[in-house]
Amino acid sequence: MDHYQPPLADLAFALEHVVGYPEIAKLPGFEHADLDTVVELLEQCGDFMAAAVAPINRQGDVQGSRLQPDGTVVTPDGFKEAYHQYVEAGWGSVPLPEEYGGGGFPRTVGVVIQELMTSANMAFSLCPLLTQGAIEAILHYGEDTLKERYLPRMVTGEWTGTMNLTEPQAGSDVGALTTRAVRRDDGSYSITGQKIFITYGDHDMAEQIVHLVLARTPGAADGTRGISCFIVPKYLVNDDGSLGARNTVETVSLEHKLGIHASPTCVLSYEGATGYLIGEESRGMRIMFIMMNSARLGVGVQGLAVAERAYQQSLAYAQERRQGLATGAAGGSSAIIDFPDVRRMLMTQRAHIAALRYLMLLDATYVDRSTNDPDPAARARADEIVGILTPICKSFGTDLGNELTSLALQIHGGMGFIEETGAAQHLRDIRIAAIYEGTNGIQAADLVGRKLGVRDGDSMLEFLAAMREIEDELGNAGMDFETIRKELRRQFDALEEATCWMLAAGRDDPDAALSGSTPYLRMWGLCAGAWMLARAALAAAATGDPVLAESQLVLARFHAEQLLPQCASLLGAATAGSRDLFALDAGQLAGEAGRVRS
C-alpha cells in the first residue's frame, strides 16, 4: 500500500506532445529548462518522492501530528527527516526565482513536481504548497527589505510559510474577520486575534514559519476593502538575518480531521504579535488573491495526484484479487480485473486521470505564457485563459478526486472499507480539497460571475471556438476517430448553448445563472478533458509508436463514448434557473418530520 510508481512516461508524453512544453522552454527566461533537462530532472524527482516521501504516507495517517504540553507541534515519525532531505535536494526551489536562490524553471515544471509529491504523500505536500503561495505574495507586493529578509530561506524551504485567513465567524466571507493590526512607532504592527484552519501553522520540520496574516487596521473600511496583509514570523529576525526572540503567536489546538492527519491544522492566537505590512494598508484582498490563485491550481493537482495514487493501488489489487469465474474462464477463479464492471471502473479512473493531467498542465503553460511571453497581447490573452481554466481545474479536479478515489475503494470491495488496506485513506485525504482554497461552489460562482463576463463573454466564447477547431482535425484523421468527433461536436453544442444562456440570464437575473453554475462548470470540465484527450490521441498517432497510439486512442474514445455524454445531460440543470431552489422555505425543506417536531 506504500508503493508508488511515478507515471514519468505519461508526464513526458504530456509535456512534449500534448501541452506544447517545448514552446514554453523557448520563452525568455526559460531557455535553460529545455525538455530533455526537465525530463531528467523529473525522473530524479520521481525517484526521490517514491523512495523518501511515499513510504511515510501511511505512518503519517495513523500517527498524525501532535500538540505537546509546551505548545509545540510534532509531526509524525519520518516527516522531519524527509523534509530535510527535500530541502537539501532543492525540489521546492525549482520553479522559484533565481534572484532568491531558485531554479527559475517554468510553473509547468513546478506543477509536475507537485503532482509527484502529492501522489506520494498529500499531507506532506501541503507544507511546500502553502510556502509557495506565501512566497508569491511577498514577491508581488513586498518591499525589497522584506524580500531580502524572508525570501532566500523560504525559497530554499529552510523556512516555511502559511496563509492566515480564516476565523470562526469569517470563512468564505473573509470581510467579516476581526483580527486587529495597530501600527507602532517603529513602523511594525501589533497583531491581535485568532485564526483557525491554519495548515502547518506550527511544526518541527523547519526552524522558522512565516505567517501571512490578514487583519484590519483601526479606522479601516468595513468588509473586504479594509483588510491588510502582514508578515508575522514565528521568530523575529535580527538585522544580521539570524533568528531572535519568539513572537507572541501561540498554537491553541490542533483540529481533529477526517483525513490528512499528518498535516497539522492549527488554531493560532496572536497576542500583540509583531507584524510587518506587505504593500499598503487595505490591499490585503489583492494579496490574498495572489496566494489563493497560486494555491487553487495546486489544489486541483491534489485531486489528480491522489486519484493517481488510488488508481495504482486499485489496479494492483484488481490483478491480485481472485473471486468468482469470469465469462469464458476455465475452472478455478478469476482475477477481478477480468470482470467487465471492474474494467469499467479502472477505465473511468484512467481516462479521467489522463484528462485531468493534461488540463492541469495546460493551465500551467498559460500561467508561464502570462508571465514570460514577450508579446503583451499574448500575455494578456494567456492571463484570460488562466482565469477560465483555474476554477475548472480546482473544482472539476477535486470533484473527480473524490469520485475516483471512491471508485478505487469500490474495486477493493469490503477490504477497501478496512483501514489497513490504505484505500480509505486516499478517499479521506482528498475530501478536503473540494472545500479549502475557495469551495467548489465558489469556483463555479467565479466562473459564471467573473470570468464569463470578461469582454462581454467573448473571452470564453473564443476559447470554446478554439476547442472546436479539433473537430476538423478529427474528421481528417480517419474512421478510428469518428465517434470521438461526433460526440465532441454534440457536447460542444450543449456547452455553447449553456454558455449563451448563462450570458443572457446573468445580465437580467444573476441568481438564475449562479443556480446553474456548478453543473455548468462540470460541463466545461468534461468537454475540456475530452478535448485534451482527443489532442493526445492525435499527437500519439503522429509519433509512430503503435502501442502509445492505441492506448491514447482507446482512452479518448472511452471518455467520449462513456463519460463525456454526461455533459449534455447537465444542460437542463445548468439552465433551470433559481425558481425551484428558492421555492420552499426552511420549514418546508424539513418536510413531514419538521412539522411533527414543531
User: Which value, to the nearest 10 degrees, does the dihedral of the CA atoms of residues 55, 60, 62, 64 take?
Assistant: 170
Q: Cell triple for residue 468?
A: 472546436
Residue 251 makes CB contacts below 8 A (sequence gap 6+) with 67, 71, 72, 73, 201, 202, 266, 267, 268, 269
SS3 244: strand
Residue 437 a catalytic site member: yes
Length of the chain: 598
CA distance 313 to 423: 8
Question: Measuring CA to CA, how many Å separate 338 from each of 201, 313, 323, 331?
Answer: 47, 17, 10, 14
Q: Cell triple for residue 358?
A: 493534461
CA distance 429 to 456: 39
CA distance 386 to 364: 8
Spot the catalytic one: 437, 473, 496, 550: 437
Q: DSSP of 559-588, one letter per residue?
A: IIIIITTHHHHTHHHHTS-STTTTSS-HHH
Pairing status of strand 243-246 against strand 208-216: unpaired
Cα–Cα nearest to 560, from 473, 489, 469: 489
Q: At what angle do helices 517-541 and 458-468 cross, to 10 degrees?
A: 30
Q: Cell triple for residue 48?
A: 526521490
Distance of CA 66 to the CA centre of its chain: 26
CA distance 75 to 82: 11
Taking the alpha carbons of 355, 356, 357, 361 in that order, is the dihedral positive or negative? positive
SS3 301: helix
Taking the alpha carbons of 117, 122, 124, 129 in that order, is the dihedral positive or negative? positive
Instruction: Say if residues 361 and 19 touch (Cβ distance below 8 Å).
Output: yes
CA distance 342 to 497: 35
CA distance 275 to 179: 12
Distance of CA 464 to the CA centre of its chain: 23
CA distance 33 to 231: 32
Pairing status of strand 159-164 against strand 208-216: parallel
Q: Cell triple for residue 404?
A: 475516483
CA distance 36 to 57: 30
E strand segments, 184-284: 189-199, 208-216, 227-233, 235-237, 243-246, 249-254, 265-277
Instruction: Say if residues 228 and 283 touch (Cβ distance below 8 Å).
Output: yes
Query: What residues are labeled active site?
Result: 437
